[in-house]
């Protein structure tokens, strides 16, 4: 059976940009290898949730991995916490946290505390404390990122974010979303934790040093995306494929770990524009010897667009194009199935995720080709896949191998 | 945020017509402005309900406005009654009515009583009467059209039409659709009302005069489309957009009013081929200063096709093309989002609504263009939107503005 390499370029899709002569970064990029795969494969446009629905990265990934977020998603927290290596238990409530900078009126000045080097010293202050018999688990991610988990009886994920999601806005108080005593109790715990963290953080020597150096202090903990772990069947149980994940950023590792994928490490794979993507692709090829499905996640296409850096996104796509060159002979020999797409569009002009469809190419074993010769938003409008929905993608790929479950007789 | 002008050309789609050299009226029409918008925008084909499902204008409009008719539709009556200005109450049963001509054997000779000038004198005869403690509200629409509402306890919309929908057929008796006492009671009321109306109408001096003048008398009330008002969230509640409606015909005003849109008036906008469509487009541009979403409805494309007048439909489309010319600079400056499509196909050869898909174009802010250069049924087959479902359209358009609700995190 042919292995599948499943490459997600986060936020790949984009909109026509005036400075790129009304092309998108992908259209404007020189991508001879992606174009060769498009020529040798089939292309189309994918809407990862529904047409017109603007997705976060978490639900978009669940959907394109075949897990309907309406059943498997209650918040981003559990995927983030799992990605940082926290083993979640049933009943835990998990959050994504940011170390942030607030002024003395509790207005958010910087949602990422100047992308501080590490949240490790701050996570340590909170990890293991108890509030009203609820245990707090805190673990550092990259830079300002921190995962927070509440463990104890009677907790609910029906609570609001503390993170206002915007700068120059006041921090929010956590509120219950319904009248249940669990939601009220959990919201109260969160508010106590946030206040406690603020007291500890603002006095921390590291912050005193940051203020002296005119760096924004990490004096506030903004949590968001409260969620509990849903009852997942593993990727192997659902699809019968041995799977591995190559990702830099925590969220994607977390999703993969929850789906029972093997999490592998590639040195220098950090989810940033200087990530070792050459190493990731080499690793993916190597893993095809032992795995059926290799999920490769590349993050910076999204982050660059969220910062409005369309030219940098274009150049990063060109770097990706170089990095995937070693896949070409395997695709042409039909020894692999390679899928390249994104989880959503990130519009560089608007600096947000949008619901615009994302180009997709699938090449290698079993593929019926089409006439598209270039990988891009507009060329793929004419692709043989047409407009495909995210939840159908894994079934489509597994079918190419020729072994999927027969429905009927 | 960019305003959306949402133009529905009722029954726009058509079939290839022999006399037009097997082109459709839209394909055969000279439409330089629509073609320019297609070139500057993205195109496709829309199935407003489901592929293959032949829609009435009422359900088609609900669907393309994002309201699933399976939840929001129990009959045409309430939309029509609301369009004529009746304020419906919970429990009311509303009907669309026609003044019609029957012979002495109760065979329908003319379903529209020769499109009589006004139904006002007849509506007045019925409005306010009571039958078995049920109040009758009747209000005149254009020509033969009349809205009828029953108000009182214990009424049901599970009853059949009195209108046979065809000439040379006998009028029908209203029947309960189930065994409930409510349905039986309501059907009995309807039959009493129809008989009472017939008695009053046939003796009316206006009808005596019509008979003398060899005009078909308005001697019968044909009701159809019994329905109750479903529990609607307003367009603003659902989408967060301030919306206005520019329409001539009652049904569309009624739908818009029920969705909480502002109903605006344009002098000479009458839903007919001589409607002031130039004024409607001017008004739409003016309303973009104060509204986010302007729904413009143009009716005669449908009525002409229902009368088999394919050449007139073609010429009317050319008039529309002239009228929309002022939108072009706004589209090219990306200061607006303009969507042009229909609610269904009306096949001029068959003189009925069909389920054939309808061409759609979307142009302006945020749009990824495609290679289609002409607006028409066949050119749009290759459009970048592909085959889009009605219920996704509003989400697609709002996403272009860049502000829609984010699902996930």
Question: DSSP letter at B367?
Answer: P
Give the residues across from B7 on adjacent strands: B296, B340
For helices A277-287 and A310-323, what crossing angle results, to 10°? 40
Residues B368 and B304 in one domain: yes
Report d(CA B386, CA B394) in Å as an integer.
16
Three-state secondary-structure class, residue A263: strand
Neighbours of B177 (CB within 10 A): 13
Length of chain B: 409
Q: Do A387 and B387 touch (CB under 8 A)?
A: yes
Residue A246: pLDDT over 90: yes
Report d(CA B276, CA B273) in Å as an integer.
9
Residues from chain A that touch B404, judged by Cβ atoms under 8 A, are 52-54, 355
In a domain, A206, yes or no: yes
Mean pLDDT of B131-142: 95
How close is the nearest chain B Cα to the Cα of A288, in Å?
A: 31
The pTM assigned to this predicted structure is 0.92
Residues B19 and B168 in one domain: no
Alpha-carbon dihedral A355, A49, A65, A341, rounded to 10 degrees? -30
Q: For a pLDDT cut of 90, what percent of chain A falls above it? A: 95
Report d(CA A13, CA A36) in Å as an integer.
19
Report d(CA A357, CA A53) in Å as an integer.
10
Mutate to test the interface with B, among A52, A96, A164 (most CBs of B within 10 A): A52
| pLDDT score at B409 | 84
Of B227, B259, B286, the residue at which a domain comes to its end is B227
Report d(CA B69, CA B227) in Å as an integer.
12
- Which stretch of DSSP H or E encloses residue A296? strand A293-298
Q: Do B408 and A69 touch (CB under 8 A)?
A: yes
Residue B349 in contact with residue B15, Cβ under 8 Å? yes
Residues from chain B that touch A49, judged by Cβ atoms under 8 A, are 407
Residues A162 and A272 in one domain: no
Mean pLDDT of A209-216: 96
| pLDDT score at B404 | 86
The chain B residue lying nearest A380, using CA atoms, is B384
Residue of B370, B387, B397 with shortest CB distance to A381? B370
| pLDDT score at A315 | 98
How close is the nearest chain A Cα to the Cα of B46, in Å?
A: 13
How close is the nearest chain A Cα to the Cα of B373, in Å?
A: 15
Residue of B371, B392, B407 with shortest CB distance to A55? B407
| pLDDT score at B403 | 76
pLDDT in tens, A293-313: 999 999 999 999 999 999 999
Residue of A15, A54, A75 with shortest CB distance to B406? A54
Q: Which runs of E-coded beta strand occur in A35-129?
A: 41-47, 54-55, 93-102, 108-110
> Which residue is listed with tokens 């139904």?
B119
Residue A67 in contact with residue A58, Cβ under 8 Å? no
Q: Phi/psi zone of residue B214: left (φ > 0), alpha (ψ -120 to 50 degrees), beta?
A: left
Residue B125 belongs to domain spanning:
80-227
Residue B98 in contact with residue B108, Cβ under 8 Å? no
Three-state secondary-structure class, residue B404: coil
Report residue B17's pLDDT band, with 50, 70 and 90 as the boundaries: very high
- Token output for B249: 């015909």
| pLDDT score at A409 | 83
Q: ipTM for the complex?
A: 0.91
> Which residue is listed with tokens 């404007």?
A28
In a domain, B42, yes or no: yes
A164-203 residues labelled b (16+ CB within 10 A) or e (exposed): beeeeeebbebebeeeeebbbbbbbbbbebbebbbeebbe
Alpha-carbon dihedral B380, B385, B391, B395, rounded to 10 degrees? -140
- Looking at every residue in chain B, the average pLDDT score rounds to 96
Report d(CA A255, CA B254) in Å as an integer.
48
Domain count, chain A: 2
Residue B197, CA distances (Å) to A115, B68, B124, B134 in order? 78, 35, 11, 15
Report d(CA A9, CA A320) in Å as an integer.
9
Those residues of chain B whose CB sits closer than 8 Å to some CB in chain A are 366, 368-371, 382-384, 386-389, 392-399, 402, 404-409
Of A201, A227, A253, the residue at which a domain comes to its end is A227
| pLDDT score at A210 | 96
The chain B residue lying nearest A59, using CA atoms, is B408
In a domain, A406, yes or no: no
B224 backbone dihedrals φ, ψ, rounded to 5°: -155, 170
Residues A292 and A372 in one domain: yes
Kind of pairing between the strands at B145-151 and B134-140: antiparallel
Q: Do B386 and A387 touch (CB under 8 A)?
A: yes
| pLDDT score at B244 | 98
Mean pLDDT of B214-230: 96
Residues from chain B that touch A76, judged by Cβ atoms under 8 A, are 408-409
Cα A198 off chain centre by: 28
The chain A residue lying nearest B40, using CA atoms, is A22
- Which stretch of DSSP H or E encloses residue A200? helix A181-202
Residues A269 and A152 in one domain: no
Q: Do B407 and A354 touch (CB under 8 A)?
A: no
Residues B96 and B165 in one domain: yes
Residues B63 and B94 in one domain: no
pLDDT in tens, A171-203: 999 999 999 999 999 999 999 999 999 999 999
How close is the nearest chain A Cα to the Cα of B240, in Å?
A: 15
Residue of A24, A56, A387 with shortest CB distance to B406? A56
Residues A222 and A94 in one domain: yes
Those residues of chain A whose CB sits closer than 8 Å to some CB in chain B are 15-16, 24, 45, 49-60, 69, 73, 75-76, 96, 224-225, 347, 350, 352-356, 377-378, 381-382, 386-387
- Which stretch of DSSP H or E encloses residue A393? helix A393-401
pLDDT in tens, B197-211: 999 999 999 999 999
Residue of A57, A356, A386 with shortest CB distance to B386? A386
Residues A247 and A110 in one domain: no
- Token output for B99: 């003044």
Residues from chain A that touch B395, judged by Cβ atoms under 8 A, are 50-53, 355
Residue A75 in contact with residue A227, Cβ under 8 Å? yes
In a domain, A408, yes or no: no
Question: DSSP letter at A326?
Answer: G
Residue A394: pLDDT over 90: yes
Residues B98 and B163 in one domain: yes
| pLDDT score at A148 | 98
How close is the nearest chain B Cα to the Cα of A3, in Å?
A: 30
In a domain, B407, yes or no: no
A270 backbone dihedrals φ, ψ, rounded to 5°: -125, 5
| pLDDT score at A312 | 98
Exposed / middle / buried, residue B157 (Cβ in 10 Å: 0-12, 13-18, 19+) = buried
Residue A341: pLDDT over 90: yes
In a domain, A407, yes or no: no
Residue of B387, B402, B408 with shortest CB distance to A59? B408
The chain A residue lying nearest B384, using CA atoms, is A381
Residues from chain A that touch B408, judged by Cβ atoms under 8 A, are 55-60, 69, 73, 76
Query: Counting one residue from A and one from B, how many pairs have CB atoms under 8 Å apart?
Result: 89
pLDDT in tens, A139-172: 999 899 999 999 999 999 999 999 998 899 999 9
pLDDT in tens, B300-313: 999 999 999 999 99
In a domain, B409, yes or no: no
Of A209, A227, A245, the residue at which a domain comes to its end is A227
Higher pLDDT, A356 or A271: A356
How close is the nearest chain A Cα to the Cα of B382, in Å?
A: 7
* CA atoms within 13 A of residue B280's CA, in its CB half-sphere: 32
Q: Do A52 and B394 touch (CB under 8 A)?
A: yes
The chain A residue lying nearest B385, using CA atoms, is A381
Residues from chain A that touch B366, judged by Cβ atoms under 8 A, are 15, 347, 350, 354, 356
The chain A residue lying nearest B394, using CA atoms, is A52
> Which residue is listed with tokens 């289609």?
B372
Residues B275 and B376 in one domain: yes
Residue B42: pLDDT over 80: yes
Residues from chain B that touch A356, judged by Cβ atoms under 8 A, are 366, 368, 399
In a domain, B406, yes or no: no
Residues B161 and B269 in one domain: no
Q: Do B368 and A24 touch (CB under 8 A)?
A: yes
Residues from chain B that touch A59, judged by Cβ atoms under 8 A, are 407-409
Three-state secondary-structure class, residue A40: helix
Q: Do B371 and A378 touch (CB under 8 A)?
A: yes
Closest to B92 in 3D by CA, of B139, B140, B155? B155
- Token output for A5: 């390499």
Three-state secondary-structure class, residue B109: strand
A146 backbone dihedrals φ, ψ, rounded to 5°: -150, 140
Q: Which runs of E-coded beta strand occur in B80-143?
A: 93-102, 108-110, 130-131, 134-140
> Which residue is listed with tokens 């003016």?
B286
Residue A149 in contact with residue A88, Cβ under 8 Å? yes
Give the CATH number of the domain where residue A240 resides.
3.40.720.10
| pLDDT score at A142 | 85
| pLDDT score at B263 | 96
Mean pLDDT of A23-33: 98
Report d(CA B180, CA B174) in Å as an integer.
15
């Amino acid at each position: 059976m042919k292995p599948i390499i499943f490459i997600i370029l986060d936020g790949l899709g984009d909109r026509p940009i005036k400075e790129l002569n009304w092309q998108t970064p992908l259209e404007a990029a020189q991508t001879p290898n992606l174009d060769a795969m498009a020529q040798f494969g089939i292309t189309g446009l994918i809407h990862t949730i529904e047409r017109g629905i603007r997705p976060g990265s978490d639900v978009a990934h669940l959907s394109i991995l075949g897990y309907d977020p309406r059943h498997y998603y209650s918040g981003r927290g559990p995927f983030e916490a799992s990605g940082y290596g926290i083993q979640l238990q049933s009943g835990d409530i998990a959050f994504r946290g940011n170390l942030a900078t607030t002024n003395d009126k509790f207005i958010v000045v910087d949602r990422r505390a100047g992308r501080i080097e590490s949240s490790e010293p701050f996570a340590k202050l909170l990890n293991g404390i108890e509030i009203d018999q609820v245990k707090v688990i805190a673990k550092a991610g990259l830079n300002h990122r921190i995962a927070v988990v509440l463990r104890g009886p009677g907790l609910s994920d029906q609570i609001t974010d503390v993170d206002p999601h915007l700068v120059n806005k006041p921090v929010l108080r956590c509120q219950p979303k319904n009248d249940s005593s669990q939601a009220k109790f959990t919201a109260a715990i969160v508010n106590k934790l946030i206040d406690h963290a603020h007291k500890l953080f603002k006095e921390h020597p590291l912050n005193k040093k940051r203020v002296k150096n005119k760096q924004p202090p990490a004096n506030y903990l903004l949590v968001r995306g409260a969620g509990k772990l849903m009852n997942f069947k593993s990727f192997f149980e659902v699809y019968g494929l041995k799977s591995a994940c190559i990702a830099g950023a925590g969220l994607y590792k977390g999703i993969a770990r929850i789906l029972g994928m093997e999490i592998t490490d590639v040195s220098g794979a950090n989810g940033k524009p200087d990530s070792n993507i050459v190493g990731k692709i080499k690793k993916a090829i190597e893993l095809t010897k032992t795995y059926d499905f290799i999920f490769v996640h590349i993050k910076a296409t999204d982050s660059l667009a969220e910062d409005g850096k369309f030219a940098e996104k274009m150049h990063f796509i060109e770097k990706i194009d170089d990095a995937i060159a070693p896949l070409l002979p395997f695709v042409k020999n039909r020894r692999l199935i390679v899928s390249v797409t994104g989880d959503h569009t990130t519009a560089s002009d608007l600096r947000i995720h949008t619901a615009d469809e994302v180009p997709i190419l699938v090449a290698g074993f079993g593929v019926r080709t089409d006439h598209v010769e270039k990988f891009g938003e507009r060329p793929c409008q004419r692709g043989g896949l047409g407009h495909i929905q995210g939840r159908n993608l894994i079934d489509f790929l597994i079918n190419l191998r020729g072994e999927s479950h027969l429905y009927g007789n």
